[in-house]
Amino acid sequence: MATSALTAQGEDFPRWYQDVVAKAEMAENGPVRGTMVIRPYGYALWERVQAELDRRIKATGARNAYFPLFIPESYFAREAEHVEGFSPELAVVTHAGGEDLAEPVIVRPTSETVVGEYMAKWIQSHRDLPLLLNQWANVVRWELRPRLFLRSSEFLWQEGHTAHATAADAAAFAARIHRDVYRDFLVEVMAVPVFEGLKSPRERFAGAINSLTCEGMMRDGKALQMSTSHELGQNFARAFNVAFQDEGGQSSWCHTTSWGASTRLIGGLIMAHGDDRGLVVPPRLAPVAVVVLAVRDEEAVEAACAEVTAELEAAGVAVERDRARGSFGRRVTDWEIKGVPVRVEIGPRDLSEGVVTLVRRDDGARRTVARGELAASVRALLDEVQASLYASARARRDAATRDVATLAEAVEAAQEGFARVGWDLVAAGGEDELNRHAVSVRCVQRADGSLPASLDESDLVAVVAKAY
């Protein structure tokens, strides 16, 4: 593990981010520009994200499937707005097997087109609906300014695709995914407060009629789009002939949705909770929630560490025993960089007194507990840390969010955080003015922060910010 100091957030936030990714041994740049190698600790975090999202996705009734990485170019030509939106990012294969291909092949940037092709084969009757699919996969979008986890030419994600008999059913399912999968995961597991709302027409997914989003504030005051859920109307159904016969025998186009979250969430984890000592991982997301360290390399101390580790494992805690060699201070620093929520430290004095020392990663607070109370104390402390991380992130976000009355005030507020300004003002040509200052509409919501049914509601508010 690396032990050298990190760049301070206040000195250079982008450099701090790069330092954390490298020194927490999360990822490295791949051999092709824009690609990344995800190291075991970074991938363990992604596996925790996958497990939590996958459980929630399956609870909605969606089932996992897999679709090809290579998609015929002609599929994209069928939905004009979609192909126009993705054209600058497409990777295209024109030569393979020693020959020019008869038709160029697109390396999957998203799967609406190929999924639509097969939905058309699988759906005939209203009895086949709704069709609820999800896939875990990699996608390729050729990035001009890559940054590990946040923007890479290849990344990992889940993408859901569903078909419904009515627009109301499709809208309700997109909203359910937004609420019960993404928002619930982000708030309850990742401990990140989010602004939820609809994307503006300019910011919504190419080919969608409506996009629902969760937007988080990072510690530098910028926004990060954490997840999106899209109503696609009948656009893709018409393009790919996804139709069904209703109960009266009439043929109708399906209404479809798509929705996704990616390894960008790992970047969001780093920037939402991390500090000048490295990562800070919420206990419910942590692949290692507790690490057990020996203060001294002594036989009795090491034996006690092994016993404590086994006890916590039996209690269902995600625990790891530190087996590294070197000074105690260096080992502590290494685990702090990785953001493990709680340390259990055991030394000769602890043994003689029948206690262990618990140290929180988020605020550094220390407490001693009796050995007989260890498991219960650790579980309670993990709950405390989880709640504290959310409360701290919520307080930071709220302190850096201003309600403003003019576009000029919105631009000013967005230099250091978020601004909430009337949507009517933004929709009437104001979005161009914001964009000229590198400020974008992150979402549109009701004044009370809830999700509107459409952008046609009155008295809506635009949440604007600089964004990753």
Predicted pLDDT at 2: 40
| The pLDDT of residue 83 | 64
Q: Hey, which residues does 229 pair with through a beta bridge?
A: 212, 259
Q: What value does the mean pLDDT take over residues 154-162? A: 98
Q: Please name which of 81, 180, 62 lies closest in space to residue 131, comparing C-alpha atoms.
A: 62
pLDDT for 39 equals 98
Average the pLDDT over 240-267 and give the result: 97
For 74-121, write each residue's pLDDT tens digit: 998 887 676 676 778 899 999 999 999 999 999 999 999 999 999 999
Q: Write down the pLDDT at residue 466.
A: 98
Any idea what the Cα angle at residue 141 is, between residues 140 and 147, rounded to 5°? 100
Residue 3 predicted with pLDDT over 80: no
**pLDDT-derived band of residue 333, with 50, 70 and 90 as boundaries?**
very high
Contacts 24+ apart (CB under 8 A), 402-411: 407/433, 407/434, 410/434, 410/439, 410/464, 411/437, 411/439
Condensed to tens digits (0 to 9), the pLDDT of residues 413-460 reads 999 999 999 999 999 999 999 999 999 999 999 999 999 999 999 999
Maximum pairwise Cα distance, the chain: 81
Q: Are 189 and 285 in contact (CB under 8 A)?
A: yes
Q: Cβ of 448: how many Cβ atoms within 10 Å?
A: 6
Residue 61 has pLDDT above 70, yes or no: yes
| Polymer length of the chain | 468
| pLDDT exceeds 90 at position 1 | no
State the average pLDDT over residues 46-50: 98
* Average pLDDT of the chain, as a whole number: 96
- Is it the case that residue 269 has pLDDT exceeding 60? yes
Average the pLDDT over 31-58 and give the result.
Answer: 97
| Residue 463 confidence class, pLDDT cut points 50, 70, 90 | very high
pLDDT in tens, 177-213: 999 999 999 999 999 999 999 999 999 998 899 999 9
In the predicted structure, residue 217 carries a pLDDT above the cut 60: yes
| Pair 421, 410: CB distance under 8 Å | yes
The pLDDT, as a whole number, for residue 376 is 97
Mean pLDDT of 28-49: 97
Distance (Å, whole) CA 245 – CA 209 = 24
pLDDT at residue number 82: 65
pLDDT score, position 85: 67
* Per-residue pLDDT at 337 exceeds 50: yes
**Domains along the chain with CATH numbers:** 13-273 (3.30.930.10), 290-397 (3.40.50.800), 414-465 (no CATH)
Burial class for 324, CB neighbours closer than 10 Å (0-12, 13-18, 19+)? exposed
C-alpha to C-alpha distance for 461 and 403, rounded to whole angstroms: 9
Could you tell me the two tokens for 204?
């919504």
- pLDDT, tens digit (0-9, with 9 covering 90-100), for 352-410: 999 999 999 999 999 999 999 999 999 999 999 999 999 999 999 999 999 999 999 99
